[in-house]
Amino acid sequence: MQTRTLGRNGLQVSAIGLGCMGLNHSYGPPLDKAAAIALIRAAVDKGVTLFDTAEVYGPYINEELVGEALAPVRGQVTIATKFGWKIGDSTGGLDSRPEHIREVVDASLKRLRTDHIDLLYQHRVDPAVPIEDVAGAVRDLIAAGKVRHFGLSEAGAKTIRRAHAVQPVTALQSEYSLWWREPEESVLPTLEELGIGFVPFSPLGRGFLTGAIDARTTFAQGDFRNGVPRFSPENRQANAALVQTLSRVAADKGVTQAQIALAWLLAQKPWIVPIPGTTKLARLDENLGAANVALTADDLAAIDATLRAHVVAGERYSPFGQKAIDR
């Protein structure tokens, strides 16, 4: 597996990481624990070194799973986790108060079976807490040896700059893919200027870009896509042209649509590291194979020209999720 560097502090990780959320959270029934651990360890064997989790996934269970799976190889991998949500509070919402950050980190360390978190993200920007206070709290945790690197998730350019001025940000994690390109407007230029890496989540459009989902697809109970406007049957039908474009490009290259979607991301910047998730070993192999797919400048220009002709239908989050996005 090729490697890439996130941030100017030299965090080196595999070119493609593994998003672990879907193993037991948000995408229907959880994978059997033994199978989930086997998949994570298979990813390690195949060269993956970046594993992404969060306290809210489950909640808590995902961190425990990742911690158990990676304990035998802890020194070989990078574990990323996140803070920032109220958990167990019936009102839900955000909480990035410094005292809460410290509590979350101590609890996450225990669940992850480690003495340090390699990359700690603020899961969503909390408008009630100045980002300078958040960055300062993480800076203190880095000084204490509990955290190695600071990250943000779904943060806008202004917030990134303010945080970075207090504690250098190593990576931003936000949605970015062939059907969500908003980060190109102001976020990617800011990251390039400041020397911050980018970790796209949902790089396969929550499965849609693989071609495995169409207007007739039904999702299991508990799958959060049931409440996402972009996944309504009519919007899936409207967005089918995008998948058809990918299918043609993939056929020309002799690879899969998922591999084209991931290879496109890798070709955008050398400091982009996507984290596709899966519950299947075959899909893991397919995703990792994207690192070997070379797209030429002509390929990229053709894809870009075709995609710009498609207007993606539907919001990417429910109204509640949209409120938590920083601009």
10 Å CB burial of residue 2 (0-12, 13-18, 19+) is exposed
Is 60 one of the catalytic residues? no
Amino acid at 62: N
CA distance 167 to 142: 10
Lay out the sheet containing 147-153: strands in order across: 18-19, 50-52, 78-83, 117-122, 147-153, 169-175, 197-201
Is 23 within 8 Å of 279 (Cβ atoms)?
yes
What is the DSSP-derived secondary structure letter of residue 293? P
Dihedral, CA of residue 288, residue 148, residue 61 and residue 321, to nearest 10: -80
Task: Point out the catalytic residue in the list 57, 60, 176, 317.
Answer: 57
CA distance 72 to 41: 9
What is the DSSP-derived secondary structure letter of residue 223? B
For the chain, the C-alpha Rg in angstroms (whole number) is 19
Catalytic machinery residues? 57
